[in-house]
Amino acid sequence: MKNKVFEVKDLRFRYAKSNVEAVCGISFDVYEGEIFGLLGPSGAGKSTTQKIMTKLFRDYQGEILYYGKDLKTYSNAYYEDLGVGFELPVHFSKLTGLENMKFFSQLYKQRANIETLLDQVGLLEDKDRMVGEYSKGMKMRLNFVRALLNNPKILFLDEVTNGLDPKNARIIKDLIRAFKADGGTVFLTTHLMNDVEELCDRVAFIREGEIVEIATPRALKIKHGNREVRVEYFSNGKTEEAVYDLDGIGENEAFLKLIKDKEIETIHSGETSLDDIFIKVTKAKSDA
């Protein structure tokens, strides 16, 4: 059994000028070496939860244990373990990429090789350019480098591929997987299901401050999908479709005859996509 990095118990948080709780008694665990995704629509409480776990918001109710010890008892040395990739660029625009990274790096005891990191995200050639001249995608890649500067144990990533083209998004996702392979733990908040599908070991869906589902992506797909097999085949000069129960499919004569006799174009099981699950489980209570 893997160690629990975080144990979040009955976490509640209310913004100062609000009558309603932004986070309403959520509980979950994050295990060492896993990529845990907290998913939900804008305003559901994902970023608030992340800000509480990164100690930016400290006035919460409930309990968060970090390696078994109350998070509130940790000093700022806690940040030596953490790398945080924000949703928006967080750099001094009138300093170069390298100057920005050098400045932030000096604030930590553990320091990664900045040039290696810049090279990994394809920014080494632009290291001496002012960040103000960077494109949004370049700034987001620099955000990721910023998160890795202190060789963290845990990465908090908020919409990490936001604004990146597919090629650069792939680079970042590969680096996240490499971080995990080295034993790192990742807490990912996003509404991009493609990222979740590729990266997350477990996901929690949050709606209006409450967790409504928590499982592996595969388990969720099976739970919310239909137990059926959909076959598209070519017959009489056109594409036709047939649907069969998944249960007992190996003994279903009609299905077996179809795949033996017809020219099959596609076969799909009825598992649903994470996009569909997202829409279904995060639908507002008032719309449900």
Partner 1 sequence: MHNFSVLLKGEMQRLLRYKILQISFVVTLLWLGVLFLIGSEHVGDFVPLFIFMDVSMMTVLLVGANLFFEKQENTLKTLLITPSDFFALIASKFVASLYLGLQSTVFIALFALFMFDVSIAFVWLMMFVLLITFAHTALGFTFTVYVKDFNGLLAFIIFYMFIFAFPSIFYALGILPSSAEVWLMFSPTHASLLMIDFAFGVSVSWWLLVIGSVYLVLLSLFLIRFVVSPKYVETAVRE
Q: Which residue ranges make up the site for partner 1 (CB under 8 A)?
A: 16, 51, 54-57, 76-80, 82, 84, 86, 88-95, 99, 103-104, 106-109, 146
Q: Which is nearer to partner 1, 102 or 173 (CB)?
A: 102
Q: Least CB distance from residue 216 to partner 1, whole Å?
A: 29
How does strand 228-235 pair with strand 263-269?
A: antiparallel
Q: Distance between CA atoms of 144 and 151, rounded to whole angstroms?
A: 12
| Cα 236 to the center of its chain, rounded Å | 46
Q: Least CB distance from residue 47 to partner 1, whole Å?
A: 8
Q: Which is nearer to partner 1, 96 or 161 (CB)?
A: 96
Residue 218 CA neighbour count, 13 Å, CB half: 2
83 φ, ψ to 5°? Answer: -125, 130
Q: Which is nearer to partner 1, 64 or 214 (CB)?
A: 64
Helices (H), the chain: 46-53, 97-105, 114-120, 136-148, 166-181, 193-199, 217-224, 253-261, 274-281
Q: Least CB distance from residue 263 to partner 1, whole Å?
A: 55
Q: Distance between CA atoms of 250 and 243, rounded to whole angstroms?
A: 14
Q: Which is nearer to partner 1, 86 or 187 (CB)?
A: 86
Q: Which is nearer to partner 1, 98 or 214 (CB)?
A: 98
Q: Least CB distance from residue 93 to partner 1, whole Å?
A: 6
Q: Least CB distance from residue 280 to partner 1, whole Å?
A: 29
